[in-house]
Amino acid sequence: MEVIADNSAFAPSAHVRKNHPPGSIRGDPSAGIITRKKEKVNYSKMIADLCYTSAIEPLTIDVALKDEYWINAMQEELLQFRCNNFWTLVPKPEGANIIGTKWIFKNKTDEARCVTKKKACLVAQGYAQVEGVDFDETFAPVARLEAIRLLLEISCI
């Protein structure tokens, strides 16, 4: 049985040295690859993150208004409405069925299921409308006018 005395058997191959300079390799290349499943979980960091970030999604607006992070998320949503000219306030037409709105609150998480962002969405309660009475067609714009204009200009070239 032959014992290898030097570490030449564990030296990176020419391919590894060419494409990955030694300065960019972290850890021991001979140790192998650690997959996400086998990666060690840092439970102390996870508990510390949970202590400082609430993972509870509020069900009502009253609960959300007590947390400054949810207030900021709601302000971002309303700012997007204003920036995209999403709605304009008009007087109520006679005999019109006005639909309500509802806030939906969701936590956005990363791969480790840590909360990275709080997202608030203002949605319409469209189930109160009747087709033919309250509306004739459904239309949802998905592109801004500038994007359509740019597409038409490119197609004319």
Per-residue pLDDT of the chain (157 residues; tens, 9 = 90+): 444 444 555 555 555 556 666 666 666 767 666 666 655 667 776 666 555 556 788 888 898 999 888 999 999 999 998 888 877 878 888 877 788 889 999 998 888 877 888 999 998 887 777 777 666 776 676 788 888 889 999 998 8
**Residue closest to 112 by CA, chosen among 55, 33, 150, 61:** 55
Distance CA 133, CA 155 (A): 40
96 phi/psi in degrees, rounded to 5: -85, 145
Amino acid at 112: A
β-strand partners of 124: 101
- What pTM was estimated for this model as a whole? 0.49
